[in-house]
């Protein structure tokens, strides 16, 4: 049929006018062959039959006049939607050939179905008009260079795109109407399935229901998705996922739980018994290379098209679902709307993630100082980092604030200490029971698989050794797997902490003394932070430098605000600074006493220095130097130092020491024997001059005798 149609077009006078004997004209250098292009989105339907393909085959009766090399069939776009050009290689090839003037005519069953995008369609028409390429379909032959033909082809393209719009609108409208009734079926998350009446019900598999319940209970305990992943990995518990399509359609595949799976479960409202349609939508995005692609975007909760509460039985309530979303949002550290980062971590800083700076309204971060980070500090460096200031907004040791907030928290919790202890015991017992029950269900499933493999092996014909050997191998594999699971269960029971009656009594006894339990070394910092976050929403920190005071504007979860004033300790140099009374006493004593004498006096009185050590002459000297107290003048009018005597008589220090030892001069020690004062009058000076001269004469006589 199509071949005859094409033959009629080739014989048409209009085509002859364009070509004037195509095979002999200049256009014969271009490929006059026909381009059969179809872009039909068959979806789940059946592709074109063999008869249909044969009817459009270029080897038809009407095309025998054309050489095989002059005819080219493009059918690579079959089954691909024509709404965009990015994934249609056949259409790209057609556009490229038309641009290179390698095509004389383009044949199609319906011209407008070459492309259902106005942008691509009008681009092709423009190229065909420039290269004088004809477009032919079953309705006629068109010359895009002609205004009337171009107008008609443009109208066909517009109608084709409008047709898609109408079809899409009707189909989506039908889906929305069915979704509003809660009857639109879609793949259900793990833990749910459809019954015989197409209603959503919990999965009949007890192991699946148990592991989903365990996930939500673990999240309530840990407060973070990563905490759930770590708990499951530590307990060696697998999480299922349902396969859709293929030979595994509908089967559960058990594997390791990851962070993405946890978020998918926590953010899915189906687990709260809510039927939702419209959580995601497709939005067109322009890539860097100019291509337009569809991206999936998550819609906010108030933009869901359909939300039917209490549609089916869920695993959690709607209020708990909203609380989980709030916790996940609080845990985010990269969101623009999230100022304070969320989950409690293992650091020593109790108020991590809760503090706001009163100067710049930004989040206060924790900086760990010292060897091994044992000195955490709250710091806000935003103004310095942005260049608005040369110093940080504030910096304060964590223990100064943590102690005050802890004391306030203990005061608030004091009336409910006993109830808190009972709740803690119940949570521990429920957690251990849930994990143990999940292991038992897992063993039951593996035992069933082993029994099923045994049954299949026993039912096979023993003479059929090929099949029997395979079934026997599978049975052995199931038995080995069962043995491994049982061994893992035994190991897990050894790691679990079982609480005895005595331990319960100890926990209840500790509840009566909650401050001791709060400060115990066995209590983890992460647990303290989680308790604190249940009560406190945020804390704004305001530092008053003039009075060395910190004001904590504490906002409780209920919205009530409270201020806590903390007096900061003095700086180190202020703490070791001596009071005015000590400085005044040293000033008075220095007039008559040496430094070591003052130190001895203070030590006898039992006084200690600013650093808590006994007084020494070095400490007293340091006080004098700092406050510019002059040293005592204890040298008499006829007393000279060792250096002054040696310079006066022109002798060495050794000779002066010799005179002191022999008693030729009177001398005394001061400054703890570090200084000699020698008494010298006029008579003693003459005597010493005589001694010095005698020594010089003796040396001269000895020198002359040596020369002779």
CA-CA distance, 118 to 387, in Å (whole number)? 52
Residue 129, pLDDT > 80, answer: yes
Least confident of 115-129, 505-519, 622-636, 643-657: 505-519
Taken as a whole, the chain contains a residue count of 708
Task: Provide mean pLDDT across the span 448-467.
Answer: 78
Which residue in 101, 94, 107 sits closest to 130, CA to CA?
A: 101
Least confident of 397-401, 546-550, 586-590, 624-628: 546-550
The helix (H) or strand (E) run that includes residue 73 is: strand 72-73
CA-CA distance, 17 to 50, in Å (whole number)? 36
594 backbone dihedrals φ, ψ, rounded to 5°? -80, 170
Which range has highest mean pLDDT (313-322, 358-367, 648-657)?
313-322
Identify any residues that bridge with 140 across adjacent strands, giving them in sequence order: 137
CA-CA distance, 619 to 616, in Å (whole number)? 5
What is the reported pLDDT for 682?
82
Residue 630, pLDDT > 60, answer: yes
* Unique residue bearing structure tokens 């030979």: 247
CA-CA distance, 123 to 583, in Å (whole number)? 95
Q: What is the pLDDT of residues 314-362, one digit of tens each?
A: 999 999 999 999 888 877 765 544 445 555 555 677 777 788 888 787 7
**pLDDT top residue among 78 and 136:** 136
Residue 265, pLDDT > 90, answer: yes
Residue 360 burial by Cβ neighbours in a 10 Å radius (0-12, 13-18, 19+) = middle
Tokens of 231: 């708990």
Identify any residues that bridge with 556 across adjacent strands, giving them in sequence order: 536
The helix (H) or strand (E) run that includes residue 167 is: helix 147-180
The 3-state secondary structure of 502-557 reads HHHHHHHHHHCCHHHHHHCCCCCHHHHHHHHHHHEEEEEEEEECCCCEEEEEEEEC
Cβ neighbours, 10 Å, residue 85: 19
Q: What is the pLDDT of residues 172-202, one digit of tens each?
A: 888 889 989 888 988 899 999 988 888 898 9
CA-CA distance, 265 to 215, in Å (whole number)? 9
Tokens of 503: 């331990």
Under 8 Å between Cβ of 351 and 401: yes
Would you give the DSSP letter of residue 461? -
Confidence tier at 124 by pLDDT (50, 70, 90): confident
Least confident of 36-50, 517-531, 534-548, 641-655: 36-50
Would you list the DSSP string of 462-479? TT-HHHHHHHHHHHHHHH
Residue 589, pLDDT > 80, answer: yes
Which residue in 25, 8, 259, 55 sits closest to 132, CA to CA?
A: 25
Under 8 Å between Cβ of 328 and 338: no
Which residue in 691, 641, 688, 643 sits closest to 667, CA to CA?
A: 641
CA-CA distance, 164 to 542, in Å (whole number)? 62
Percent of the chain with pLDDT over 70: 77
Residue 254, pLDDT > 70, answer: yes
Residue 9, pLDDT > 70, answer: no
What is the reported pLDDT for 337?
47
What is the reported pLDDT for 47?
41
CA distance readout (Å), 297 to 278, 280, 282, 294, 309: 10, 6, 6, 10, 23
What is the reported pLDDT for 2?
43
CA-CA distance, 459 to 681, in Å (whole number)? 133
* Unique residue bearing structure tokens 């000779």: 655
- Report the relative pairing of strands 292-298 and 306-308 from DSSP bridges: unpaired
113-119-121-122 Cα dihedral, nearest 10 degrees:
150
Residue 63, pLDDT > 80, answer: no
Percent of the chain with pLDDT over 90: 6
Residue 252, pLDDT > 60, answer: yes
**pLDDT top residue among 318 and 529:** 318
Would you give the DSSP letter of residue 674? T
The helix (H) or strand (E) run that includes residue 22 is: none
Identify any residues that bridge with 294 across adjacent strands, giving them in sequence order: 284
Task: Provide mean pLDDT across the span 484-495.
Answer: 74
Cβ neighbours, 10 Å, residue 20: 10
CA-CA distance, 297 to 136, in Å (whole number)? 41
338-339-345-349 Cα dihedral, nearest 10 degrees:
-170
Non-local (6+) Cβ contacts of 301 within 8 A are 307
CA-CA distance, 653 to 646, in Å (whole number)? 6
Distance of CA 48 to the CA centre of its chain: 51
Tokens of 283: 């939005």
3-state secondary structure of 611: coil
678 backbone dihedrals φ, ψ, rounded to 5°? -110, 130
What is the reported pLDDT for 19?
41
């Amino acid at each position: 049929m199509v071949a005859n149609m094409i033959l009629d077009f080739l014989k048409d006078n209009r085509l002859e006018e364009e070509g004037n004997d195509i095979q002999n004209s200049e256009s014969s250098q271009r490929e006059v062959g026909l381009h059969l292009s179809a872009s039909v989105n068959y979806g789940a339907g059946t592709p074109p039959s063999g008869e249909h393909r044969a009817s459009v085959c270029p080897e038809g009766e009407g095309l025998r006049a054309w050489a095989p090399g002059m005819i080219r069939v493009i059918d690579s776009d079959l089954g691909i939607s024509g709404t965009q050009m990015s994934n249609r290689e056949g259409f790209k090839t057609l556009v490229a050939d038309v641009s290179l003037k390698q095509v004389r005519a383009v044949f199609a069953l319906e011209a407008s179905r070459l492309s259902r995008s106005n942008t691509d369609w009008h681009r092709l028409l423009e190229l065909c008009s420039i290269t004088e390429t004809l477009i032919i379909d079953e309705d006629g032959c068109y010359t895009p260079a002609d205004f009337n033909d171009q107008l008609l082809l443009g109208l066909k393209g517009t109608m084709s795109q409008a047709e898609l719009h109408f079809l899409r609108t009707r189909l989506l409208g039908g889906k929305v109407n069915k979704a509003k009734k809660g009857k639109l079926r879609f793949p259900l998350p793990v833990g749910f399935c459809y019954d015989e009446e197409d209603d959503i019900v919990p999965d009949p598999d007890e192991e699946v229901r148990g592991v989903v319940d365990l996930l939500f209970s673990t999240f309530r305990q840990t407060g973070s998705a990563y905490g759930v992943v770590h708990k499951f990995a530590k307990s060696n518990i697998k999480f299922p996922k349902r396969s859709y399509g293929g030979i595994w359609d509908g089967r559960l595949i058990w594997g390791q739980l990851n962070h993405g799976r946890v978020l998918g479960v926590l953010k899915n409202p189906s687990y709260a018994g809510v039927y939702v349609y419209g959580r995601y939508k497709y939005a067109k995005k322009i890539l860097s290379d100019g291509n337009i692609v569809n991206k999936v975007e998550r819609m906010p909760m108030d933009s869901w098209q359909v939300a039917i509460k209490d549609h089916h039985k869920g695993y959690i309530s709607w209020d708990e679902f909203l609380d989980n979303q709030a916790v996940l949002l609080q845990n985010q550290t990269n969101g623009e709307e999230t100022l304070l980062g969320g989950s409690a971590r293992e650091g020593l800083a109790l108020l991590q993630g809760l503090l706001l700076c009163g100067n710049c309204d930004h989040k206060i971060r924790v900086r760990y100082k010292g060897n091994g980070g044992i000195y955490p500090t709250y710091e806000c460096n935003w103004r310095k980092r942005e260049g608005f200031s040369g110093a940080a907004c504030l910096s304060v040791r964590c223990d100064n604030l943590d102690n005050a907030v802890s004391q306030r928290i203990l005061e608030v919790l004091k009336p409910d200490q006993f109830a808190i202890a009972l709740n803690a015991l119940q949570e521990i017992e429920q957690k251990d029971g849930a994990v143990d029950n999940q292991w038992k269900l897992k063993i039951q499933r593996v035992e069933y698989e082993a029994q099923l493999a045994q049954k299949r092996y026993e039912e096979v014909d023993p003479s059929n050794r090929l099949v029997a050997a395979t079934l026997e191998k599978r049975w052995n594999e199931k038995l080995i797997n069962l043995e491994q699971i049982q061994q893992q269960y035994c190991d897990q029971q050894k790691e679990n902490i079982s609480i005895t009656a005595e331990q319960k009594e100890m926990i209840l006894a500790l509840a009566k003394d909650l401050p001791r339990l709060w400060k115990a070394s066995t209590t983890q910092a992460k647990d303290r932070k989680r308790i604190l976050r249940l009560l406190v929403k945020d804390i704004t920190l305001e530092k008053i430098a003039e009075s060395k005071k910190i004001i904590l504007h504490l906002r409780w979860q209920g919205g009530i605000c409270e201020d806590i004033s903390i007096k900061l300790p003095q700086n180190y140099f202020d703490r070791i600074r001596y009071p005015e009374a000590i400085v005044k006493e040293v000033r008075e004593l220095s007039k008559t006493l040496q430094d070591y004498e003052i130190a001895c006096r203070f030590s006898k009185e039992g006084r200690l220095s600013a650093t808590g050590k006994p007084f020494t002459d070095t400490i007293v000297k340091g006080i004098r130097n700092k406050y510019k107290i002059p040293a005592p003048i204890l040298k008499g009018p006829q007393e000279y130092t060792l250096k002054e005597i040696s310079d006066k008589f022109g002798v060495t220090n050794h000779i002066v020491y010799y005179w002191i030892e022999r008693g030729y001069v009177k001398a005394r020690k001061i400054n703890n024997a570090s200084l000699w004062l020698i008494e010298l009058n006029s008579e003693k000076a003459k005597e010493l001059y005589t001694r010095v001269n005698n020594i010089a004469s003796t040396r001269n006589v000895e020198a002359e005798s040596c020369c002779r």
